[in-house]
Structure 1
């Protein structure tokens, strides 16, 4: 019973985790992004291509494709790579034969900014790059943040495409750009993912359900041990009562059966409990109602039932009555001592 109650409450708590959408659970929708790159190694004139569904679109980003040359914040330090300064300039390596912009002018579109995570908000990074006319912003994670693509909040960044990639992918793209090699990047929409997450209201509900479960479980536990204590006490009482009853039963008259016993036809009469005829040397017990049974048959019966199997006389009460009145009568059958 206790286990069943606890399982029921556990099921209720688990159901609370799956609260309907209108009751606190909300849908979380996000998209992966295909990231394709291509550049030509100066040594050997070898084209290096790469493509993987390794990015994740930001929450406020339009789920659209984008392409352009990769540009990185100007500066040698890791701090510069975060692109947090409002006046950040970007270096965009151009293909051979292309003319760069005049000094101080933003690079020609289309181009994609590659910046490191950290130092400021995602919105600041995107805003600074968009101010320089970047068509997209790729933020690569760093190991100190867990190195996983996460959901990014950057509300208010307009139509700029924003994605996040892991640290290895970010360094893979960053390394040739730092060497002045033009890298062309294409961002494509990947797989749509939908999952439910629990709101604060649902967490409170689950906590209350869990505490309630624990309280009821504790109450059931206390009830169970009280019942067990009472049962054990009754068992002890019952055992004591059986000892007293056994004592009284042992006071009932015994007789060893012999041929020619007065009032007992050995060949015709049998024990009403085992339905076997009496035989010489059988030990029988004589009840106050004068009914005779094998001792081994009647003693266990009286211990459990207290009554004569034939006439239903309460032998213990009857014997107590005799003891109080001192009116015990001798049986017509001879005792073992007389025989």
Structure 2
């Protein structure tokens, strides 16, 4: 059962491992943005919000510095464009979305030594952001903020205000963190669990049924084997019998036959000790030497199927061997005759045919 349940668990793990890398592409990190600058009255203005989004190809790590905007081109797409900045401290490039790809404007700013890049959205988008993609930018750190906020900061910098920006990772978002996905995963988990339990119950019930059916079959076959054993020929060996004088041995116990021992002759004419062969036939119902099925040979199986268990008593014969007397069989269900020469001679074992012919001669 454990072997059957192993493939289903492996399939679940493979499905889950396939979903993880796919879902990772949809997970994004927000950015907590803090701006700080001095007003004309020397009052410090500090604004904080979780209003940025890290780029798809950017590592979500904190960075900070003074804000610098490109001169003459707010999008920062022209190569060799100049950022007004103080080279003695870390600075952050603030560029507008448009005119070129995110990767191009990020690479231009990073080549001039920016600690990170903040891209603000286009006009008319309010403070909405998108999950921007910027491949081929190496380890550059970039976030996107809304248009209104980005335009306000850009205007302050262009007017000569020193604006410092502190950015750190906010919260992770995506399908695995979304409420609907949590509901879906919970339902999927319970469905998989219920299916696994149902499968386990089904396999267990099927195994119990198979075991019960096997036990009933074995019990029926043992009962049939007992009836078949009762129909086999049983012989008491006497001195001078061919089996006692030859090198013949019982194939079950591998011992020679001796006078006085009781042997059983199977339907295939193979002979064994009665005490040896009967336990064997109860368990296997076949000859140890030729695998002949005694149930089929004696028709016991058909008798049981046809409800003919009340058939006539089994015929058991005894062959007596004496010194010079003739060999003959006497059925136990018939009276013993005082004239053995008039009895019908019948032998199921070829080992005794020669003795019978010699006696009649």
TM-score (ref. length: structure 1): 0.45
Which is richer in strand? 1
TM-score (ref. length: structure 2): 0.42
**Structure with more relative contact order (C-alpha pairs < 8 Å, separation 6 or more):** 1
